[in-house]
């Protein structure tokens, strides 16, 4: 049961990665530190040989002569934190090319996307599948069946028949504590939870970022991470951020690339296909885990969360990230995700674009909607000829708000 430290939870992407191991000689699991990659790898291939490059002996064994290591090791083999050995990737290419017909031989993980993806693109293009493992999805956290929301997102009739076993209180609690497995599963131990958040940020900056970018101004970088938590969900203003930090706008831009590439922060692009309208063309961004946002904002209880001025933004991020996690597990589902805002402040929180068309999604933290809450949706639906729009709220039942707008409570996602 959740709250038990040694309890293993089957991740939603388990089936997807299983299929990819059957199709590719190498699969790489990327993601932030402490999202459960090591546990996930061992669940996938429990009988495989396993090596962790953060372990000194394993690092020495592999990094000194990766070609020899790969020629001797039995497969399938797991190599954790693979980005720590750049030499490994060229050796992997050689080992794979010697036997291209055998799939599922190598299962790797990595936490540092910029370096890892560079090595993969240079050495393993066409030979590897890449999957991001994020923090717990809602179905993982509550150990329930995945919602059919994404599969039915283009069919209003099917959306009206969604079912749920979740409660609003459970969602609020997950929003409060965040989706990293360890703090969520040990959320009843408040001392341990608070220390985890503090140590996570410290380790991320003082160890990971220092190792990856030794010339970086760590103090300015730390301040930027904190500032992003306070301005989460807002339009990115490089001039304002650079002025506050005392560094150039290009430096802030570089820092944002690093924060995004290490899975702490997400940039959401604006939807700007209408050249006649005055649209906001700057991206907006947010810290991806709401538990970390709450840590920076010193939010410690459900009452504090719901009473905080940033609650609407925090809840919006919580829902958006769940949608991203649901989309990521659909192997044949091609999509792009945007936000939309005009100069006159008409706004859509999320615009999902697929080969089937556009679906605009508004996210509300309230239980009851205001009378004008569908205005932006209606306008967007008419202008872009969308089949329908969706409002995700905290109400209790699914209902049609108009002929082409459906309201779906968050508990059904």
pLDDT band, very low/low/confident/very high, at 4 (cuts 50, 70, 90): very low
* Cα–chain center distance at 376: 27
Question: Considering only 14-23, 309-318, 322-331, which range has the smallest mean pLDDT?
Answer: 322-331
Is the pLDDT reported for residue 334 higher than 90? no
pLDDT value for 372: 74
Is the pLDDT reported for residue 361 higher than 80? yes
Q: Report, as an integer, the average pLDDT of 321-327.
A: 94
Domain definitions of the chain by residue range: 14-132, 138-412
Question: Considering only 1-10, 86-95, 162-171, which range has the smallest mean pLDDT?
Answer: 1-10
Fold of 14-132: Rossmann fold (3.40.50)
| Backbone torsions φ then ψ of 288, nearest 5 degrees | -75, -30
User: Parallel, antiparallel, or unpaired: how do β-strands 335-341 and 347-354 relate?
Assistant: antiparallel
Nearest-5° Cα angle at 342, 345 to 384 = 125
Q: What is the pLDDT of residues 247-295, one digit of tens each?
A: 999 999 999 999 998 999 999 999 987 655 555 567 899 999 999 999 9
Q: Report, as an integer, the average pLDDT of 47-61.
A: 95
- Cα separations (Å) of 79 from 20, 44, 95, 110? 17, 13, 14, 9
Q: Report, as an integer, the average pLDDT of 47-52.
A: 95
pLDDT value for 2: 41
Question: Considering only 41-55, 172-186, 228-242, which range has the smallest mean pLDDT?
Answer: 228-242
Please give the helix or strand (H or E) that residue 270 lies within, else none. Answer: strand 265-270
Nearest to 294 by CA among 148, 121, 137, 177: 177
Q: Pick the more confident residue, 408 or 261.
A: 408
pLDDT band, very low/low/confident/very high, at 1 (cuts 50, 70, 90): very low
Q: Report, as an integer, the average pLDDT of 91-100.
A: 92
pLDDT band, very low/low/confident/very high, at 3 (cuts 50, 70, 90): very low
CA–CA distance, 229 with 289 (Å, rounded to integer): 10
**44 Cβ neighbours under 8 A, 6+ residues apart:** 14, 17, 18, 21, 107
pLDDT value for 278: 56
3-state DSSP of 324-387: HHHHHCCCCCCEEEEEEEECCCCEEEEEEEECCEEEEEEECCCCCCCCCCCHHHHHHHHHHCCC
pLDDT value for 118: 76
CA–CA distance, 218 with 259 (Å, rounded to integer): 12
Does this model's pTM top 0.85? My answer is yes
Q: Report, as an integer, the average pLDDT of 288-305.
A: 95
Mean pLDDT, the chain, rounded, equals: 89
Is the pLDDT reported for residue 6 higher than 70? no
Q: What is the pLDDT of residues 178-226, one digit of tens each?
A: 999 999 998 888 777 778 988 999 989 888 888 888 889 999 999 999 9
Q: Is the peptide bond before 391 cis (omega within 30 degrees of 0)?
A: no
CA–CA distance, 333 with 169 (Å, rounded to integer): 31
Q: What is the pLDDT of residues 126-160, one digit of tens each?
A: 889 999 999 999 999 999 999 999 999 999 999 99
């Amino acid at each position: 049961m959740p709250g038990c430290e040694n309890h293993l939870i089957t991740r939603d992407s388990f089936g997807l990665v299983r299929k990819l191991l059957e199709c590719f000689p190498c699969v790489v699991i990327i993601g932030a530190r402490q999202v459960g990659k090591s546990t996930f790898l061992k669940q996938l291939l429990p009988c495989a040989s396993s090596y962790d490059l953060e372990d000194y002996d394993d690092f020495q064994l592999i990094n000194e002569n990766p070609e020899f290591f790969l020629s001797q090791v039995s497969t399938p083999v797991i190599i954790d934190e693979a980005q720590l050995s750049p030499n490994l990737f060229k050796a992997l290419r050689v080992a794979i090319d010697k036997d291209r017909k055998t799939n599922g031989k190598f299962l790797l993980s990595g936490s540092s996307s910029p370096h890892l993806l560079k090595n993969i693109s240079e050495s393993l293009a066409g030979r590897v599948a890449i999957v991001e493992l994020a923090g717990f999805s809602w179905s993982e956290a509550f150990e329930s069946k995945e919602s059919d929301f994404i599969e039915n997102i283009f069919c209003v009739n099917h959306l009206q028949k969604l079912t749920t076993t979740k409660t609003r209180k459970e969602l609020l609690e997950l929003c409060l504590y965040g989706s990293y497995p360890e703090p969520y599963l040990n959320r009843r131990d408040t001392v341990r939870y608070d220390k985890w958040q503090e140590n996570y940020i410290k380790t991320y900056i003082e160890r990971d970022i220092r190792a990856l970018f030794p010339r970086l101004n760590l103090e300015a970088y730390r301040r930027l991470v904190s500032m992003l938590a306070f301005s989460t969900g807002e339009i990115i203003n490089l001039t304002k951020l650079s002025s506050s930090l005392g560094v150039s706008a290009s430096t802030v831009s570089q820092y944002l690339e690093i924060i995004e590439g290490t899975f702490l922060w997400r940039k959401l692009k604006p939807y700007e296909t209408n050249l006649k309208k005055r649209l906001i063309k700057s991206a907006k961004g947010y810290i991806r885990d709401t538990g970390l946002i709450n840590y920076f904002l010193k939010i410690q209880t459900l009452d504090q969360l719901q009473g905080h001025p940033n609650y609407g933004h925090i809840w919006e991020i919580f829902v958006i990230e769940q949608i991203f996690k649901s989309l990521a597990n659909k192997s044949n589902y091609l999509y792009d995700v945007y936000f939309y805002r005009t100069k006159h402040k008409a706004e859509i929180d999320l615009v999902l674009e697929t080969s089937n068309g556009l679906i605009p999604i508004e996210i509300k933290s309230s239980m009851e909607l205001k009378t004008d809450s569908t205005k932006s949706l209606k306008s967007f639906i008419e202008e872009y000829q969308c089949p329908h729009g969706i409002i995700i709220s905290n109400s209790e039942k699914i209902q049609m708000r108009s002929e082409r707008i459906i309201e779906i409570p968050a508990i059904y996602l």
